[in-house]
Amino acid sequence: KKCNFIQREVTFLGHIVSAEGIKTDPAKVAAVQDFPTPQSIKDVQRFLGLAVWYHRFIPNFSAKAAPLHALKQKKASWIWTEQCQRALEIIKRDLTQTPVLTPPDFNKTFKVQTDASEIGLGALLTQEIEGEEHVVSYASRLLRGADKAYSVSEKECLAVVWAVEKWRHYLEGQPFEVVTDHASLTWVFQHSKPNSWLIRWTIRLQGFQFTVKYRKGICNVVADVLSRNQEHPGSSELLAVVKATKSTACPTNLPVDLDQITIEQQNDLEIQELCKKASSQTSQDLSRVHYLLENG
């Protein structure tokens, strides 16, 4: 009774699994669609508990549910606004239009599409099968804390780093494509004076091998919608043409060339003194310079 053999599809934990992929179970989705308008914080928590179970099927779920999550904050007053009602209705509507998520095929190239707005980050992972693009996974999150203070370019960079790391288990060890409507990665790798966070982001991407493709904002619709609640006028910084630039994401793509670092270190008087003291067999007190050279 606990096993099913030779089945075309199987219902499991509120999902229907088949050869085509994974989709929501209409019987379980009905519980979300029939949920009445919340009358208290506990009602909101119950609704979100049901909806979050299917968040992977809803593009831009984080931004769409933001008004409801705001009600859960400690200092928030219970006021059911038009925004809250709209968020409730949008989530219910989207659950009736959920796509079939395609199982990943590791013999085909993955494509990561990203976008960022003043509200949040959006991304989708796709693969082309028989000439058509199929969604493997959706992802989105709201900007929080210091993220909101980033410039447009910095937010675009953050979106790429976040998406690639989120899907590391799919992308690591094989080439893939990153599609963005902003020249973020070229900006990262070519920045002449990188700051600390820029260097950290670059290093975090070095374990991946990918090709960067720039897609005009109007052509990058899905990822764009994932990152925002509603459409906003395009930034003047968006590229007007579609072009491709290859990035192999290896150590040679550091924002500062390694050979340049070596040369500058050799010419630096302070570093020369440290190296001399660290390698000297007769140094009287290496502790003064806080460095010790050990073999292995």
Final residue of a domain: which of 36, 60, 95?
Answer: 95
On whether both 246 and 263 belong to a single domain, the answer is: no
Question: 175 and 125, same structural domain?
Answer: yes
1-28 mean pLDDT? 80
DSSP label of 292: -
Contact 19, 105 (CB under 8 A): no
d(CA 236, CA 273): 49
Give start and end residues of each alpha helix (H) in 15-65.
26-33, 41-52, 61-64
Instruction: Clarify whether residues 141 and 231 are in a common domain.
Output: yes
User: By residue range, what is the domain housing residue 120?
Assistant: 110-253
Is the domain of 29 the same as that of 79? Answer: yes
Residue 23 covered by a domain: yes
| Amino acid code (one letter) for 127 | Q
Q: What is the mean pLDDT of residues 116-122?
A: 84
For the segment 257-279, the average pLDDT, to the nearest whole number, is: 79
204 φ, ψ (degrees, to nearest 5): -65, -25
Residues 191 and 206 grouped into a single domain: yes
Examine residue 104 and state whether it is found in any structural domain, yes or no.
no
Structural domain total, the chain: 3
Q: Does residue 67 belong to any structural domain of this protein?
A: yes
Token pair, residue 48, equals 């979100």
Final residue belonging to a domain, choices 65, 95, 125: 95
**pLDDT for residue 257 is more than 70:** no
What is the average pLDDT across 139-161?
86
- Average pLDDT for 244-258: 42
Question: Same domain, yes or no, for 121 and 211?
Answer: yes
Does 170 share its domain with 72? Answer: no
Judgement on whether residues 119 and 84 belong to the same structural domain of the protein: no
CATH of residue 84's domain is 3.30.70.270
Q: In 10 A of CB 291, how many CB atoms?
A: 11
Is residue 75 scored above 70 in pLDDT?
Answer: yes
Q: For residues 248 and 208, give the distance between their C-alpha atoms in angstroms, rounded to a whole number.
A: 8
Residue pair 271/265 in contact (Cβ under 8 Å)? The answer is yes
Distance CA(162)–CA(168), nearest Å, equals 10
pTM across the whole model: 0.59
DSSP string, 147-213: GGGS-HHHHHHHHHHHHHHHTHHHHTTS-EEEEESS-HHHHHHH-SS--HHHHHHHHHTTT--EEEE
Mean pLDDT over all residues of the chain?
Answer: 76
Q: How far apart are CA 170 and CA 145, in angstroms?
A: 29
Is the pLDDT reported for residue 253 higher than 70?
A: no
What's the confidence (pLDDT) of residue 296?
Answer: 47
3 assigned to some structural domain: no
Q: What value does the mean pLDDT take over residues 28-44?
A: 86
Same domain membership, residue 47 and residue 26: yes
- Give me the pLDDT at residue 290, please: 52
3-state secondary structure of 15: strand
Domain membership of residue 191 (yes or no) is: yes
Query: What Å distances lie between residue 19 and 2, 16, 104, 147, CA to CA?
Result: 20, 10, 12, 40
Residue 129 vs residue 176, higher pLDDT: 176
Task: Give the residue, 1 or 167, on which the prediction is more confident.
Answer: 167
pLDDT tens across 153-206, in order?
Answer: 888 888 899 999 999 999 998 999 998 877 656 666 666 676 777 788 888 888
Residue 223 predicted with pLDDT over 60: no
Tell me: do 159 and 278 sit in the same domain.
no
Whether 100 is covered by a domain: the verdict is no
Q: Is the dihedral of CA 88, 146, 149, 237 positive or negative?
A: negative
Q: Is the pLDDT score of 81 beyond 60?
A: yes
Classify residue 242: in a domain, yes or no. Answer: yes
In a domain, 284, yes or no: yes
Same domain, 137 and 71: no
* CATH number of the domain enclosing 164: 3.10.20.370
Q: Are residues 91 and 150 in the same domain?
A: no
Q: Which of 219, 257, 263 is nearest to 238 (CA)?
A: 219
Exposure on the CB side of residue 282, measured as CA atoms within 13 A: 0
